[in-house]
Amino acid sequence: MSNPNAIRLDSVSKSFDGFKALSEASFTARWGEVHALLGENGAGKSSLMNIAAGLYAPETGSLFIDDNPVRLKGPLDAAAQGIGMVHQHFKLVKPFTVAENILLGLRHLQAGTYRQRLAQTAEQITAMAASLGFSIEPHARVDQLSVAEQQRVEILKVLLAGARILILDEPTAVLTDAEAENLLTTVQHFAHQEGAAVILVTHKMNDVMRYADQVTVMRTGSTVASLKPQTVSVGELVKLTVGDAPTPPQIPSSRDAGEVRLAVRDLRSSGDAPALRGVNLELRAGEIYGIAGVGGNGQSELAGALMGLPEPVSGEMELVGEGDLNSLSAARRRELGIACIPADRYSSALAAPLSISDNFAMGDVHSGRYGPFWFLRRKRIEADTAAAVAEFDVQGVRSLQQKAALLSGGNAQKLVIAREFARIPQLVIVHSPSRGLDVRATLAVHERLRSARDAGAAVLLISEDLDEVMALADRIGVMSAGRIIGEFAQPADRQAIGQAMVNHV
């Protein structure tokens, strides 16, 4: 006998600014199962789950919990029904601590003073984190955590709030192999042994095949299939999701690179607990240097320092022929062909309330291409943006004047890359470039990075996805405790890299 239904959405439709994001989409997850939700970027997965989480109201269709009709007025109603969603782009108050963020969602902790409730919350965080295999300091400020650590806070927040229907949007996108395996094993246990329902929105086929009991595929806002992943091959599932299955790239081998383009020497951050503790590396023209490591070991701080964010650091970041990277203005960086692709596209790469065309043009306004600041040549901006949107396959664009916030995560990433590659790049600094992207978009991004390398650019790839580093990098450095603790030439031993990542944390 099959398990009863935990959550069911029937014939749900939803539009945004006249664009049909969902068209009579349906989805059913049962108690005691892990249910994967697949689809290309912009297929409607997040929109459908946002309706399940009470963030959006459907225009048509119905929502059922335990086969009883429910009308959610907002996220609080969803939480009262035991629904918790961990979003791809986190919903955290950055200046607050971990415990303060989680206490905001714990309605059952009402007794005692605020200080007492905060202490109780910290104890619960420590216990839950230990059961999940996480390492989280309850009193750390969220804005001082890495992307991977912030994701762990989100997961803890919904579980401690009592979620029994757990929706995870790209949960392993910023986790290492070991962290991902631990998390997915934990949520699988949560479903199978404790009878909860887990919905896994993901693009990682291996995660689906290994951990999901059921998978639903969406395309262009509609549900196209629901089946058991064990009944199909990975290739068949990819083809069902994105059409013809793309050919996976070969792992690169060692290659001859050019002269050193960027030299980082003894880079250190200030403070009592510095994130960077003597980073040394050399990046050469015509190579991709990949940095692997467990989240929270200084990767975000290294990326921020190299991208020109206000990171208080000492040491050298020499751009050969130009001097100290920190001394270069934003305009000079772009003139030199320095492209930056941050991990968090919405907080660091895009102005979400501005239009798509404004976001694209901001990378070249300083050059005078679009005229003076006080009288921009809008027709040229729109022509350039339209060409870039077409070339980089940015989907979901109804108008170049629509807000960038309305793009799906993957298409927002494509817009960032289109802007950064509008000039031929000479130095590319990229952090987690394929986070949240589907198979087709991931391969397209990877091909852009390879093309830049083959054209002579020096590419620094920072990623907590070891598969991505192994597939792209010509040389691999392992980062731990704020420094590079080992380098590996391709073809590299994956186990040796993983061992280095774990042993030095």
For 228-264, how does the pLDDT look when each residue is reduced to its tens digit (9 = 90+)? 999 998 878 877 776 654 445 555 655 667 899 999 9
Provide the 3-class DSSP secondary structure of residue 76: helix
pLDDT over threshold 90, residue 17: no
- Burial per residue of 126-159, b for 16 or more beta-carbon CB atoms within 10 angstroms, e otherwise: bebbeebebebbbebebebbbbbbbbbbbbbbbb
How far, in Å, CA of 167 to CA of 78, rounded? 12
How far, in Å, CA of 48 to CA of 43, rounded? 10
Q: Average pLDDT, stretch 398-411?
A: 87
Provide the 3-class DSSP secondary structure of residue 382: helix
Query: What are 59's two structure tokens?
Result: 């225009």
Query: Which of 198, 144, 137 is closest to 172 using CA atoms?
Result: 198
E strand or H helix that includes residue 167:
strand 165-169
How far, in Å, CA of 257 to CA of 277, rounded? 27
**Locate tokens 């299939």: which residue?**
225
Confidence band, pLDDT 50/70/90 cuts, at residue 505: very low
Strand 34-38 and strand 214-219: the pairing is: parallel
Q: How many other C-beta atoms lie within 10 A of the C-beta of residue 58?
A: 21
Q: Is omega for the bond preceding 252 within 30 degrees of 0, making it cis?
A: no
Q: Average pLDDT, stretch 398-403?
A: 92
pLDDT at res. 477: 95
Domains of the chain, earliest start first: 5-242 (3.40.50.300), 258-337+424-505 (3.40.50.300), 353-422 (no CATH)
Q: How far is CA 6 from CA 1, 63, 159, 164, in A?
A: 15, 11, 17, 9
Q: What is the pTM of this model?
A: 0.64
How far, in Å, CA of 28 to CA of 7, rounded? 6
How far, in Å, CA of 384 to CA of 376, rounded? 13
Query: Which of 236, 137, 163 is closest to 6 using CA atoms?
Result: 163
C-beta separation of 423 from 337 below 8 A: yes
Confidence band, pLDDT 50/70/90 cuts, at residue 176: low
pLDDT at res. 46: 86
Confidence band, pLDDT 50/70/90 cuts, at residue 11: very high
Provide the 3-class DSSP secondary structure of residue 497: helix
Task: Give the tens place of pLDDT for each residue, 438-491.
Answer: 777 788 889 999 999 999 999 999 997 788 899 999 999 999 888 999 999 988
pLDDT at res. 502: 59
Query: What are 63's two structure tokens?
Result: 């929502």
